[in-house]
Amino acid sequence: MKRSLACLASVALIAVVALLVGSCGSDSPATPGGNNATNVLFTAVKEAAPTFLPGAKSADKTINDKTINDQAMYVAYQLLRNYTYPDDEGVVDMSNIYKVLWETGRYLDEAPTRCAAVTEATDSALSPFAFDDFLGHSYALGMALEEGGYGTSIAYGVVGDERRMLASYKWAPDAAQQVAIGVIQAEHNATTGDASVRFAQAVRYPPGSTMGGVDGNGFAIRAKIDGNSTTHTFELKMAINGTSIVGKGISRGAGNWFLFRCGEAFYCIPADATEADLAAIVPTDLANVPAEGAAYKDAVAAAVPYDVATDLPAVDLSNFNGGVAGTPVSYLMY
Q: Side chain identity at 240, as an amino acid letter?
A: I
Phi/psi zone of residue 312: left (φ > 0), alpha (ψ -120 to 50 degrees), beta? beta
pLDDT at 145 over 60: yes
Task: Give per-residue pLDDT as tens, 4-62.
Answer: 222 222 222 222 222 323 222 222 322 333 344 479 999 999 999 999 999 876 656 65
What integer pLDDT is reported at residue 322 of this predicted model?
Answer: 54
For the chain, the three-class secondary structure string (H helix, E strand, C coil) is CEECCHHHHHCCCCCCCCCCCCCCCCCCCCCCCCCCCCCHHHHHHHHHCCCEECCHHHHCCCCCCCCCCCHHHHHHHHHHECCCCCCCCCCCCCCCHHHHHHHHHHHHHHHHHHCEEEEEEEHHHHCCCCCCCCCCCEEEEEEEEEECCEEEEEEEEEECCEEEEEEEEEECCCCCCCEEEEEEEEEEECCCCEEEEEEEEEEEECCCCCCCCCCCEEEEEEEEEEEECCCCEEEEEEEECCEEEEEEEECCCCCCEEEEEECCEEEEEECCCEHHHHHHCCCECHHHCCHHHHHHHHHHHHCCCCCCCCCCCCCCCCCCCCCECCECCCCCCC
Q: Side chain identity at 326, as an amino acid letter?
A: G
Please give the share of the chain, as a percent, with pLDDT higher than 70: 82
What integer pLDDT is reported at residue 199 of this predicted model?
Answer: 95
Task: Give per-residue pLDDT as tens, 213-229.
Answer: 999 999 999 999 999 99
Task: Give per-residue pLDDT as tens, 77-97.
Answer: 999 999 998 888 888 888 899
Query: Are 127 and 95 within 8 A, CB to CB?
Result: no
pLDDT at 324 over 70: no
Q: Average pLDDT in the 298-315 region?
A: 97
Query: What is the greatest pairwise CA distance in the chain?
Result: 61
CA 221 from chain center: how many Å? 9
Query: Are 168 and 329 within 8 A, CB to CB?
Result: yes
